Amino acid sequence: MPRAGITADRLVTAAVELADEAGFENVTLSALARRFGVKDASLYSHVKNLQDLRTRMALRAGGELIDRIAAAVAGRAGKDALAAFAGAYRAYALEHPGRYAATQIRIDQSLLADSPALRRTAEITYGMLRAYGLDEPDLTDAVRLLRATFHGYCVLEAGGGFGAPRDVQQSWNRAVDALHTALTHWPREENDHPHE
């Protein structure tokens, strides 16, 4: 009997496709084996276990995401760069919900440490913020704010959390405007303990 010709890469490719179609939590080794016309036990030659597969999916998707962001941000600065970053981020999350969900999972730090995607993400994010003239620790605070807002927005939108009839794209534009405002008027060291 001929072989299916499975490799870890092809497996991950099929996995992220399945994630976008059926949802990340429905990506199962059994389902993938079925898709390849193979018994599920056979996949353990290519992948250690389910967690291993998910980690690979996360790294794949994370790389794709930062590639698209990098392409969008290239050659822009200031608010223009912020809007491009935000747009690329949200577009990826909406086009590839399963892949995006994969990027959210908790990953062993040791595996993540030498991931080029993580380093590129940091470079691009901090580079984008350069225009706002922030120094540490404000820079880290700003990065966290942006990540949280982008991520939270996409999660809520994808999960159907925005029930109001207001168009989400317009809301999103406003949110990006608001973040730009916040970065421009970044609260500098004033009163951490308001005099109450």
49 near DNA, rule: CB under 7 A: yes
CB-based contact 132:121 (threshold 8 Å): no
CB-nearer residue toward its own copies: 45 or 109: 109
Q: Which does 50 bind (CB under 5 to 8 A by kind): DNA, its own copies, none?
A: DNA
Minimum CB separation of residue 112 from DNA in Å reads 20
80: its two tokens? 């223009």
Q: Which of residues 133-152 bind its own copies (CB under 8 A)?
A: 136-138, 140-142, 144-145, 147-152
> Quick one: DSSP state of residue 128?
H
127 near its own copies, rule: CB under 8 A: no
Q: Which does 66 bind (CB under 5 to 8 A by kind): its own copies, DNA, none?
A: none
Minimum CB separation of residue 155 from DNA in Å reads 23
Neighbouring C-beta atoms of residue 51, cutoff 10 Å: 12
Alpha-carbon span 174 to 90, nearest angstrom: 14
- How does 117-130 read in b/e, with b if 16+ C-beta sit within 10 Å? bbebbeebbeebbe
CB-based contact 19:102 (threshold 8 Å): yes
CB-nearer residue toward DNA: 44 or 127: 44
Q: Which of residues 8-37 bind its own copies (CB under 8 A)?
A: none
Q: Which of residues 163-182 bind its own copies (CB under 8 A)?
A: 163-164, 166, 168, 170-171, 173-175, 177-182
Q: Which does 10 bind (CB under 5 to 8 A by kind): its own copies, DNA, none?
A: none
Q: Express the helix, strand and coil content of the chain in percent, nearest 5 each.
A: 70, 0, 30
Virtual torsion, Cα 18, 21, 26, 30, nearest 10 deg? -40
Binding site for its own copies (CB under 8 A): 79-80, 104, 106, 109, 136-138, 140-142, 144-145, 147-153, 155-156, 159-164, 166, 168, 170-171, 173-175, 177-183, 185-187, 190, 192, 194, 196
